[in-house]
């Protein structure tokens, strides 16, 4: 019997994805307010003591522990500089660059103080926004952890390495000699007796579309082309496995785009959801 391809599952795609449980609004508000009230109190204190918005950011950059500093930066972005990239705000060493590049667009400190004073403490609306950041990435971590468990159960004689939840990605330059893009990150490698059988990425798509959808599938195409071109050149049998799950797969052209990646590489690359693994990821394929 001919093996089913990722495209063959599209008609009943909703039966093959795994849904990660979410949280209901406004049920989260009591916990959110309890968690983030100290952040808003601290922000208010620093705001009163600052003579400019740039000075406020500088003071926030000196705050420890890291968790509090990151939350304060998120509040700063909402009140003072919505155009500032979130990732830049997280890094202490970026504070000087942020003030230099974005400082002229900061809202003036008297206006920030006025607006902040108009809101209650705790501010339910802002606490709810901050709560959304709390579990960002959690669904992806859950997916990776369950995937590692499935592989170990199904193939107890093989090894799987990589960050099961949070952690540093594997860089292909650390695994493969003279790899053309040594800083190419992957989420896992499946091995037999230290020989890599499969490299891959695992992602949970809760809600994607438009440019985000194109970015994800484009990244996968680039990764597959780059690695499998290298593997072919060096006569390696190592394949590529993309583990994706979540309702985002059902949006737009994502399912078709993933199916196209499989079609191009004809067995050298596969895309699966967690529920497809027992049927589509076999020892025969891994070792072929």
Of the pLDDT bands very low, low, confident and very high (cuts 50, 70, 90), residue 252 is confident
Q: How confident is the model at residue 14 (pLDDT cuts 50, 70, 90)?
A: very high
Judge whether 189 and 199 are in contact, CB under 8 Å.
yes
Average the pLDDT over 36-51 and give the result.
Answer: 97
CB atoms within 10 A of CB 44: 16
- 205-208: list long-range contacts, CB under 8 Å, 24+ apart: 205/244, 205/245, 205/246, 205/247, 205/248, 205/249, 205/251, 205/254, 206/20, 206/139, 206/246, 206/247, 206/248, 207/247, 207/248, 207/251, 208/248, 208/251, 208/252, 208/254
Cα–chain center distance at 84? 20
Domain boundaries, the chain: 29-134, 137-287
Instruction: State the average pLDDT for the chain.
Output: 90
Question: Residue 176 and residue 236: Cα distance in Å, rounded?
Answer: 10
Reported as a pLDDT band with limits 50, 70 and 90, residue 208 is low
Residue 126 has pLDDT above 90, yes or no: yes
Q: H or E segment at 160? A: strand 159-161
SS3 177: coil
Please report, to the nearest 10 degrees, the dihedral formed by the alpha carbons of residues 178, 183, 184, 186 taken in order. Answer: 110
Of 209, 204, 207, the closest CA to residue 252 belongs to: 209
Spatial contact of 120 and 29, defined as CB atoms under 8 Å apart: no
Winning range, highest mean pLDDT, from 89-93, 111-115, 167-171, 219-223 = 111-115
Least trusted range by pLDDT, from 19-23, 25-29, 227-231, 243-247: 19-23
CB 13 within 8 A of CB 96: no
pTM of the model: 0.77
């Amino acid at each position: 019997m001919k093996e089913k391809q990722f495209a063959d599952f599209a008609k009943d795609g909703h039966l093959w994805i795994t849904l990660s449980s979410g949280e209901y609004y406004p049920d989260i508000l009591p916990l959110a307010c309890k968690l983030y009230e100290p952040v808003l109190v601290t922000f208010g204190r620093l705001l009163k003591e600052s003579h400019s918005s740039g000075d406020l950011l500088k003071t926030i950059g000196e705050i420890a522990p890291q968790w509090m500093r990151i939350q304060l930066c998120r509040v700063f972005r909402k009140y003072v500089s919505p155009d500032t990239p979130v990732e830049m705000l997280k890094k202490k060493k970026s504070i000087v660059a942020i003030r230099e590049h974005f400082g002229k667009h900061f809202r003036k400190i008297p206006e920030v103080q006025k607006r902040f004073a108009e809101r209650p403490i705790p501010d339910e609306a802002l606490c709810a926004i901050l709560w959304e950041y709390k579990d960002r990435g959690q669904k992806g971590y859950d997916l990776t952890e369950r995937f590692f468990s499935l592989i170990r159960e199904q193939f107890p004689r093989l090894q799987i390495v990589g960050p099961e939840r949070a952690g540093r990605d594997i860089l292909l330059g650390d695994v493969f000699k003279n790899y053309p893009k040594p800083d190419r990150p992957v989420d896992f490698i499946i091995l037999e007796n230290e020989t890599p059988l499969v490299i891959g990425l695992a992602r949970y798509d809760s809600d994607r579309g438009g440019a985000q959808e194109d970015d994800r599938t484009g990244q996968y195409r680039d990764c597959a082309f780059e690695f499998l071109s290298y593997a072919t050149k060096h006569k390696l049998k190592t394949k590529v496995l993309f583990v994706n799950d979540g309702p985002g797969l059902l949006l737009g052209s994502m399912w078709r785009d993933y199916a196209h990646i499989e079609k191009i590489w004809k067995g050298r690359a596969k895309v699966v959801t967690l529920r497809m693994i027992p049927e589509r990821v076999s020892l025969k394929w891994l070792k072929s």
